[in-house]
Amino acid sequence: MGMDVVGKKPSTKEGEYFRNNLWWWRPLWDYCAVIGEDIIDKSVWESGHYNDGAGLDAEDALALGLRLMQEIESGRTAEYEAEYRTELAELPMEQCDLCAGTGIRTDKVGREMGMHDKALEDEVATVVGRLHGWCNGCRGYGKKENWATHYPFQVSNVKEFAIFLMGSGGFSIF
């Protein structure tokens, strides 16, 4: 699933259409709310996380695009990205839901696929202290990365969105 952001009255080719999958969109839209809190109404920000047609008019879209470019040029967006990545890296691991944290998937699918008998990779076996029993959710560790780590943030994505905004003539999110 993704967010299709459509320009209302595009003045450039780049302003016609912007797309992110949900993983990329949510951190981008949240960042827009942080640096554009005087531009994006809270209800628009909340609706912007759904495909219900929320968006900004031409004046606000241009203002947000210009603000994003200022933030990029100042280096603050790169600082935000670095802080964001650090926060994600420091999140605790989560218990794997497929194996209930055991590292061995023994449900119907796991048994049918032979995961309970599968040999572990040497590095995993060394850490977990067993040679067999695997899970496709956590590779046999019983824990996996925090779900939030699936939501990336990059300056290049912000820049692409800023360019879209400046040429969009306003936009709607579908």
The sign of the dihedral angle between the CA atoms of 75, 77, 80, 85 is negative
Do 39 and 111 fall into the same domain? no
Q: Assess whether pLDDT exceeds 90 at residue 59.
A: yes
Question: With contact defined as beta carbons under 8 Å apart, do 68 and 76 qualify?
Answer: no
Q: Assess whether pLDDT exceeds 80 at residue 174.
A: yes
Do 84 and 97 fall into the same domain? no
Q: What is the pTM of this model?
A: 0.84
pLDDT for 1: 77
| C-alpha pair distances (Å), 106 with each of 102, 111, 141 | 9, 6, 14
Do 19 and 83 fall into the same domain? yes
Domains in the chain, number: 2
Q: Assess whether pLDDT exceeds 90 at residue 65.
A: yes
Do 78 and 6 fall into the same domain? yes
Q: Is residue 25 classed exposed, middle or buried when 0-12, 13-18 and 19+ CB atoms within 10 A define those classes?
A: buried
Do 11 and 41 fall into the same domain? yes
| Domain with 128 in it | 93-145
Do 75 and 107 fall into the same domain? no
